[in-house]
């Protein structure tokens, strides 16, 4: 439940939302995926895309699914294949490491096992953010010259 009440999905057809609930603030990443697939099956891909983007954009910036679905690589890949880009810089880096290691195959399996470790991936992303920030002077201590 949102702060000011329920946030209802655009399509409230019981065949589509009966087992996932009527408050999108409470939906998991899997629930959004199920919703998209059901809307697509019943109303077509164009309508499903339109409704999904509208409903997902209605989530608050602090809602878990708004922040964390982007780091579920299977979820991201599904929507990317559907023509819906849901990622942003960090989540694309997070899932991109997995993509590169899958594409390289063979010797990359060791690299993949290292980089799919969330602590190592997170550290790599933070290091990248730090590096870019340091290049633009974002982390300068104003007291040091």
Count Cα atoms within 13 angstroms, Cβ side, for 53: 14
**51 falls in which pLDDT band (50, 70, 90)?**
very high
pLDDT at residue number 41: 96
SS3 assignment, position 74 = helix
**Longest C-alpha distance within the chain, in Å?**
64
Task: Choose between 21 and 41: higher pLDDT.
Answer: 41
- Interacting residues of 34 by C-beta distance below 8 A, sequence separation 6+: 20
Task: Choose between 107 and 48: higher pLDDT.
Answer: 48
Same domain as 107, residue 46: no
Same domain as 101, residue 78: no
Same domain as 95, residue 45: no
Same domain as 93, residue 81: no
**120 falls in which pLDDT band (50, 70, 90)?**
low
What pTM did the predictor assign?
0.61
List the structure tokens of 27.
Answer: 């939906």
pLDDT at residue number 26: 85
Same domain as 73, residue 8: yes
């Amino acid at each position: 439940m949102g702060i000011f009440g329920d946030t209802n999905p655009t399509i409230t057809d019981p065949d589509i939302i009966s087992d996932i609930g009527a408050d999108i603030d409470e939906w998991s990443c899997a629930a959004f995926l199920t919703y998209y697939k059901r809307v697509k099956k019943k109303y077509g891909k164009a309508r499903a895309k339109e409704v999904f983007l509208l409903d997902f954009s209605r989530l608050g910036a602090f809602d878990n699914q708004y922040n964390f679905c982007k780091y579920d690589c299977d979820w991201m890949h599904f929507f990317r294949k559907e023509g819906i880009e849901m990622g942003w810089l960090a989540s694309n880096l997070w899932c991109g490491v997995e993509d590169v290691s899958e594409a390289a195959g063979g010797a990359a399996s060791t690299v993949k096992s290292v980089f799919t470790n969330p602590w190592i991936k997170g550290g790599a992303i933070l290091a990248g953010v730090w590096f870019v920030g340091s290049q633009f002077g974002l982390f300068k201590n104003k007291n040091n010259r």
